[in-house]
Amino acid sequence: MTKRTEKTTGTQPAKRRTTIRPAAARIPKVASAPLPEAKPAAGRAGKSAERRAAIIEAAMDEFIARGFAATRLDDVAKRAGVAKGTLYLYFKDKETMFEELIRTALVPLIGRLTALPTITGPVRDAVEGFAETFMREVVATRRGDIIRLIVSEGPRFPAIADFYFREVVSKGLTGMKALVQLAITRGEIKHRELGDFPQLVVAPAIVAVIWQSLFARHAPLDGLAMFKVHLDLIFGERGKT
């Protein structure tokens, strides 16, 4: 598999295999507008959005299972229930499809990050809530595989690594840092240096994602329980002090 990969020596005429990464990048009609299942999808536009969603869904399964290079577009088309040529009506090429796929999968995650709402109770509860959500909606689902996919292909797709860093990592850490600092001023957290490394707070979550995809069958890991012990380290024993 693999195939044409880079290469792309200046040859202007050669139409095929470009892979030149043609600027654009586009995100045509992503508008996940009429989403809701029920909808039989109003007219043409709805039909089109449905098709696109089906393709993305299928592509996600394939890319997660095989990685970028080993995924065959024939398989994606078959799984999506469309002809191969149809894929090219929605995506410029394999690479673009992959990148848009990742972006699409991250949108909901970004939404959640930018909506870190008011902290009512103890900061610890907020962080614990984050952990529960993360374990339930990321580690235990295909979202976790998306993260692994980013780790896998990131080095070869700078655009994806950049996007992920900018939209998810950066925002997430900024929010977490704010949370830590709030906890410090409130006296919930003693270690002031923790504010310098918000990564430490989420480290167990990352480990849970990786463990899940690699060693789950060798030795199951209760990510949430682990995270709670971690919170004890940060905030001190629960209910004590």
74 binds a copy of itself (CB under 8 A): no
Site for a copy of itself in 196-215 (CB under 8 A): 196-197, 199-200, 203-204, 206-207, 210-211, 213-215
DSSP state of 23: T
Token output for 47: 């039909």
32 binds DNA (CB under 7 A): no
Distance (Å, whole) CA 190 – CA 156? 40
26 binds DNA (CB under 7 A): yes
Largest CA distance in the chain: 73
Contact 139, 209 (CB under 8 A): yes
Question: Which of 32, 53, 57, 84 is the binder for DNA (CB under 7 A)?
Answer: 84
Q: How far is the CB of 218 from a copy of itself (least distance, A)?
A: 5
Dihedral class, residue 81 (left if φ above 0, else alpha if ψ from -120 to 50, else beta): left
Which of a copy of itself, DNA, none sits in contact with 169, Cβ below 5 to 8 A by type? a copy of itself
23 binds a copy of itself (CB under 8 A): no
Question: Which of 33, 35, 65, 83 is the binder for DNA (CB under 7 A)?
Answer: 83
231 binds a copy of itself (CB under 8 A): no
* Polymer length of the chain: 241
Which of DNA, a copy of itself, none sits in contact with 230, Cβ below 5 to 8 A by type? a copy of itself
Contact 126, 119 (CB under 8 A): yes
Distance (Å, whole) CA 9 – CA 7? 6
Distance (Å, whole) CA 179 – CA 183? 6
Contact 166, 103 (CB under 8 A): no
Q: Which residues contact 32 (CB under 8 A, 6 or more apart)?
A: 49, 53
Which of DNA, a copy of itself, none sits in contact with 229, Cβ below 5 to 8 A by type? a copy of itself
Which positions touch a copy of itself (CB under 8 A)?
1-2, 5, 65-72, 148, 150-156, 161-162, 164-166, 169-170, 191, 193-194, 196-197, 199-200, 203-204, 206-207, 210-211, 213-215, 218-219, 221, 225-226, 229-230, 232-234, 237
Which positions touch DNA (CB under 7 A)?
1-5, 7, 14-19, 21, 23, 26-28, 30, 43-44, 47-48, 51, 71-74, 81-86, 88-89, 93-95
